[in-house]
Amino acid sequence: MSKPFHKSLVGTLVIIVLICIGIYWLFFASLGWITGHGKELTVPVLKGKNRDEALKALEAAGFEVDLDSTYSPDQKPLVVLEQQPEGGTTVKQGRTIFLIINRVNPRNTAMPNLVNMSYRSAEMLLKSNKLLLGDTIMKPDMAQGAVLSQLLNGKEIAPGTQIPQGSKISLVIGDGLGNKQINVPDLNGMTYPEAVAILSGSNLTYSAVFDGTISDTTTAVIYLQQPEAFNEFNEPNKIQEGDNVDIRIKQNMEEGQ
């Protein structure tokens, strides 16, 4: 007597194949439901928006959010600087959106050494250190186009000094010596600080020699200068902007006379 078909070897194999086909069909039939097929959303454009506004929009749409922060001195605090995926991209619901937010409090950074750099190179280095370019001050100097000094709040700042990102750095730039002739200032009898102020205001450099005992530079006076202010005909001597004036200083006019 022969066995029923479903109990035979061939029948068993056929049943196994049919079960596999059914499982295969069920898997692909439910794949769209498992992966959320058809439930795609467009990522909103969030760059430039406030953090809270961006979070509210993403959470309402069912997105997960991952936040990070950096500092951009030319942007408002707490605005979205970058997002991934980009705004306008179509993604599945529940996708994680990565946001980079502008920090409220900037980190400190080391002041770079800009002296002797070209203006363009100094500007790029400031930007890479997240520092802002402040005033540009032109000064007669043979190093035309080069940075002569770097200033923070009007005072020279040494390389390596820790300052907040976003600080404004002013640059003194060489403007060449040019051909502008000016009268040599008469410094004799002036105090040392007065003479330095006059020379600086005239765009002249100086070399100072202190003679004798100097107890107080603020009251020490100029007793000799080269070139002199007047020639043998008592006419003003001329000098080019950026040139050097030698000055000799002593504590009072009675010394060395």
pLDDT in tens, 176-208: 766 678 899 999 999 999 999 999 888 888 999
Q: Considering 51, 67, 102, which residue would you say is the last residue of a domain?
A: 102
Q: Name the pLDDT band for 11 (thresholds 50, 70, 90).
A: low
- Collapse the DSSP code of 240 into the 3-class scheme (helix H, G, I; strand E, B; otherwise coil) and give the result: strand
Among the ranges given (34-38, 191-195, 210-214, 230-234), the one the predictor scored with the smallest mean pLDDT:
34-38
Among the ranges given (32-41, 91-100, 112-121), the one the predictor scored with the smallest mean pLDDT:
32-41
Q: Which residue type is seen at 104?
A: V
Q: For position 127, what pLDDT does the model report? A: 92
DSSP 13-62: HHHHHHHHHHHHHHHHHHHHHHHTTT-EEEPPP-TTSBHHHHHHHHHHTT
| 130 and 93 both lie in a single domain | no
Q: For position 1, what pLDDT does the model report? A: 47
Q: For position 257, what pLDDT does the model report? A: 47
**Residue 2 domain flag:** no
| 200 and 146 both lie in a single domain | no
pLDDT in tens, 200-211: 888 888 999 999
Tokens 């506004």 belong to residue: 53
Which two structure tokens, joined as six digits, stand for 6? 């479903």
User: From the CA atom positions of the chain, what is the Rg in Å?
Assistant: 38
**Residue 20 domain flag:** no
Domains in the chain, number: 3
Domain hosting residue 127, numbered range: 108-174
Residue 167 has pLDDT above 90, yes or no: yes
Q: What whole-number distance in Å separates Cα of residue 199 and Cα of residue 148?
A: 17
What average pLDDT does the structure give for the chain? 85
